[in-house]
Amino acid sequence: MSAKKTEYKAVARKDLTYRAWIWKEMKRNWVAYLMILPYVLIFTVFTVAPVVLSIFISFTDFNMLQTPNIVWLENYINLFFADDIFLIAVKNTFIFAVIVGPVSYLMSFLVAWFINELSPRIRAIVTLIFYAPSISGQVYLIWGTLFSADAYGWVNATLLELGFIDTPIAFFQDADYVMPLCIVVALWTSLGTAFLSFIAGLQGIDRAQYEAGAVDGVKNRWQELWYITLPNMRPQLMFGAIMAITGSFGFGGVVTGLCGFPSVDYAAHTIIHHLEDYGSQRYEIGYSSAIAVVLFTIMIASNTVVKKMLSKVGN
Amino acid sequence: MAKLRTRKHKVVLSRSAGGDAGITVMLTILGLFMVLPMVYVIMQAFKPLDELWMYPPRFYVMRPTWSNFRDLFTLMNTSWVPFSRYIFNTLFTSVMGTFGHLFIASMCAYALAKIKFPGHKWIFKTIQTSLMFHSTVTAVTSFILMSAFHMIDTYLAIIIPAWGYTLGLYLMKQFMDTNVSDAVLESARLDGASELRTYWVIAMPMVKPAWLTLIIYSFQTLWNAGSSIYIYSEQLKSFNYAIGQITAGGIKRAGASAAATVLMMMVPILVFVISQSNIIETMGSSGMKD
């Protein structure tokens, strides 16, 4: 069948120019374009257009009320040279991302790997335990109760009891504690799609490969992991990395939920918060678009770099 | 050649006791970290008022009671906009958003995976790239576009963007790549079935786990949606937002808010428990090739 198809194409290309051939193929497959049309239309309007529009608006002083003027790079210059809070936000975002991204990635993989050889029933239960926090919406607010600022908070009470502290610590209002705690909570909610993808990927590796490995002299589970499991998992590792990176740059809800907005001394202020502040509260759309473009660039760049690095694994 | 142990004609892979122990310890520690806050939420929800404000606080509940849930329902009944309205809003947007997404995204996924039309590669690449950035990046400009379409403060502002979720399309396309055989489709086409018919009658029944996953992902996102910058009117806001208002009521409502959190989290968790094996099956093909 496929041989016949290529033959047909080869003939068609001889008497047609490449462009004419593409046109012919497009006409032949017109139903396909009809089928993708609804999705592609919505995708274009709500994903592509906003990105392109942000780039344009970021060069203006648009504020939803007055006619916008073109200000060229003024927004970007203000961001990086005049807006101290933005620089704090950039620093915090990177601290969050550099810790939460890799740690959640590693945790997802290790847990998936740990439970891989358990019986299906137990594996399902453990999967649920680790996955549940990421799908339970606002349940992370319980950390606010556990670490509540008065002696009724379980953590404060325990520390008081044990004599480590004399007065309760206002964990989520104290610039020293806000960042580490938010990182812990973010990690707690971070075993999501990547985790499930790893579980499925590990389950999908044929046992015969491990047996063959054993015959060839693989001695223990660590060698198995290195020589058989990881090379087989490359597609999932790639997908998981993208999920982890995008998630770690994009979380801000946890901070707002636990520390309020803005967080004390901007201690956990991230680019997302800065964006929300200027975009949905002050309506300085031009300025907030510049913030969005910076964040967009950071996300795409880190994903691309990590993808490049991962594609070298096992090559 | 290495000496191999076998049991029932199968090679026994070498597993050291030390490794087993280490893994068990690590898994237990991480598991406790994950599960204890969840347990604490449930404990809080069943604590009577005097236990919630007991000093020193106890982790476990001593005299469990339903009174927090009763308080929650009383609070719901006294709210300005009837609570049934919030529930309707969330259910309506979840159902409409999810089914539209399922239909539109799977149709597109089918064409991208199974019809080799000019441009299918770069269209998928573009869609895949959008997995690399978070939707908050586009929130503000989406707002401008939506106000141009007069979608602000209507259900459409929640429903229509949900139809375009990327992850659902991505998972569906990857799953179709590996689980729908070209030979079967080809024979259907030779029998004269149109592409639309082949998609609906042949391909869709073969990817049940994927569309279940799509439904669950989209439903979870919409169910957990809180206040949206696209909605002002109180009577159009979501259930989650309304629950959040109760939670924000402070000390007096600590019990009711714990009860509300438990109710809210039960739904996605139960849905996941029921569909776990299907989701894992779908994730089997989630990998990214390059």
- Report the 3 state secondary structure along B4-32: CCEECCEECCCCCHHHHHHHHHHHHHHHH
Say which CATH number the domain at B172 has.
1.10.3720.10
Based on the domain organization, do B102 and B209 belong to the same domain? Answer: yes
- Is B47 inside any structural domain? yes
Mutant choice from A116, A142, A271 vs B, greatest count of B C-beta within 10 A: A142
- With contact defined as beta carbons under 8 Å apart, do B244 and B90 qualify? no
Enumerate the β-bridge partners of residue A70: A60
Q: Which of B242, B229, B245, B220 is nearest to B94 (CA)?
A: B220
Other C-beta atoms lying within 10 Å of the C-beta of residue B7: 7
Q: What domain count does chain B have?
A: 2
Rounded Cα gap, residues A218 and B2, in angstroms: 9
Going B53 to B54 to B56 to B57, the CA torsion angle's sign is negative
- Is B10 inside any structural domain? no
CB contacts < 8 A, A to B, total: 317
- Is B3 inside any structural domain? no
User: In a structure prediction context, what are the per-residue pLDDT tens digits for chain B, which is 290 residues long?
Assistant: 456 677 777 777 778 888 889 999 999 999 999 999 999 999 999 999 888 888 788 888 889 999 999 988 888 888 788 888 988 999 999 999 999 999 999 999 999 999 999 999 999 999 999 999 988 889 889 988 999 999 999 999 999 999 999 999 999 999 999 999 999 999 999 998 889 999 999 999 999 999 899 998 998 889 888 778 888 888 899 988 888 787 776 667 788 888 888 988 898 999 999 999 999 999 999 988 76
Rounded Cα gap, residues B216 and B210, in angstroms: 10
- Is B98 inside any structural domain? yes
Q: How far is CA A106 from the centre of its chain?
A: 14
Per DSSP, chain A holds a count of helices (H) and strands (E) of 18, 0
What are the percentages of helix, strand and coil residues in chain B, rounded to 5?
Answer: 70, 0, 25
Say whether A128 and B269 touch across the interface (CB within 8 A). Answer: yes
pLDDT value, residue B250: 66
Based on the domain organization, do B59 and B108 belong to the same domain? Answer: no
- Is B245 inside any structural domain? no
**What's the mean per-residue pLDDT of chain A?**
89
Based on the domain organization, do B163 and B213 belong to the same domain? Answer: yes
Rounded Cα gap, residues B185 and A3, in angstroms: 17
Using DSSP's 3-state secondary structure scheme, residue A259 falls into helix
Q: Is the peptide bond before B118 cis (omega within 30 degrees of 0)?
A: no
Based on the domain organization, do B52 and B92 belong to the same domain? Answer: no
Mutant choice from B38, B230, B288 vs A, greatest count of A C-beta within 10 A: B288
- Is B39 inside any structural domain? yes
Q: How far is CA B83 from the centre of its chain?
A: 23
The one-character DSSP state at A264 is G
- Cα angle A314, B1, B7 (rounded to 5 degrees) comes to 95
Based on the domain organization, do B60 and B91 belong to the same domain? Answer: no
> Tokens standing for B181?
């055989």
Q: pLDDT (tens digit, 9 = 90+) per residue, A85-120?
A: 999 999 999 999 999 999 999 999 999 999 998 899
Rounded Cα gap, residues A268 and A91, in angstroms: 10
Based on the domain organization, do B45 and B154 belong to the same domain? Answer: no
Mutant choice from B283, B285, B290 vs A, greatest count of A C-beta within 10 A: B283
A297 touches chain B (CB under 8 A): no
Return all residues near B42 (Cβ < 8 A) that are at least 6 apart: B262
| Cα separation values, B36 from A180, B31, B84, Å | 19, 8, 32
The one-character DSSP state at A67 is P
The tokens 């740690």 sit on which residue? A103
> Tokens standing for B6?
């076998």
- Is B250 inside any structural domain? no
- Cα angle A75, A79, A81 (rounded to 5 degrees) comes to 115
Based on the domain organization, do B177 and B273 belong to the same domain? Answer: yes
Residues of chain A found within 8 Å of residue B26, distances taken between Cβ atoms = 110, 114
Rounded Cα gap, residues A294 and A273, in angstroms: 13
Domain housing B157: 81-237+266-283
Is residue A19 pLDDT above 70, yes or no? yes
Is residue A40 pLDDT above 90, yes or no? yes
The one-character DSSP state at A68 is P
- pLDDT-derived band at A2 (thresholds 50, 70, 90) equals very low
The closest CB to that of B284, out of A50, A154, A200, belongs to: A200
Last residue of a domain, one of B30, B65, B100: B65
Enumerate the β-bridge partners of residue A60: A70
- With contact defined as beta carbons under 8 Å apart, do B221 and B165 qualify? yes
Q: How far is CA B121 from the centre of its chain?
A: 27
Say whether B134 and A250 touch across the interface (CB within 8 A). Answer: yes
How close is the nearest chain B Cα to the Cα of A126, in Å?
A: 8
Enumerate the β-bridge partners of residue B11: B6
Q: pLDDT (tens digit, 9 = 90+) per residue, A166-214?
A: 888 888 888 889 999 999 999 999 999 999 999 999 999 988 898 888 8
- Is B260 inside any structural domain? no
Based on the domain organization, do B56 and B109 belong to the same domain? Answer: no
pLDDT value, residue A4: 44
Say whether A45 and B287 touch across the interface (CB within 8 A). Answer: no
Q: Which of B77, B81, B75 is nearest to B233 (CA)?
A: B81
Is residue A265 pLDDT above 90, yes or no? no
Rounded Cα gap, residues B271 and B210, in angstroms: 15
Based on the domain organization, do B115 and B59 belong to the same domain? Answer: no
Return all residues near B102 (Cβ < 8 A) that are at least 6 apart: B168, B211, B214, B215, B218
Rounded Cα gap, residues A112 and A205, in angstroms: 13
Rounded Cα gap, residues B246 and B226, in angstroms: 13
Based on the domain organization, do B55 and B164 belong to the same domain? Answer: no
Other C-beta atoms lying within 10 Å of the C-beta of residue B4: 12
pLDDT value, residue A7: 46
Based on the domain organization, do B104 and B200 belong to the same domain? Answer: yes
The closest CB to that of B111, out of A36, A53, A146, belongs to: A36
- With contact defined as beta carbons under 8 Å apart, do B202 and B114 qualify? no
| Cα separation values, B136 from A91, A275, B110, B231, Å | 19, 8, 28, 16
- In chain A the domains, ranked by start, together with CATH numbers, are 1-57 (no CATH), 80-312 (1.10.3720.10)
What are the percentages of helix, strand and coil residues in chain A, rounded to 5?
Answer: 80, 0, 20
Rounded Cα gap, residues B47 and B64, in angstroms: 6
- A7-24 b/e (C-beta count within 10 Å ≥ 16 → b): eeeeeeeeeeeeeebeee
Other C-beta atoms lying within 10 Å of the C-beta of residue A64: 12
Q: Which of B100, B121, B104 is nearest to B112 (CA)?
A: B121
Q: pLDDT (tens digit, 9 = 90+) per residue, A208-244?
A: 898 888 888 888 888 889 889 998 898 999 999 999 9
Based on the domain organization, do B102 and B229 belong to the same domain? Answer: yes
> Tokens standing for B93?
């947007």
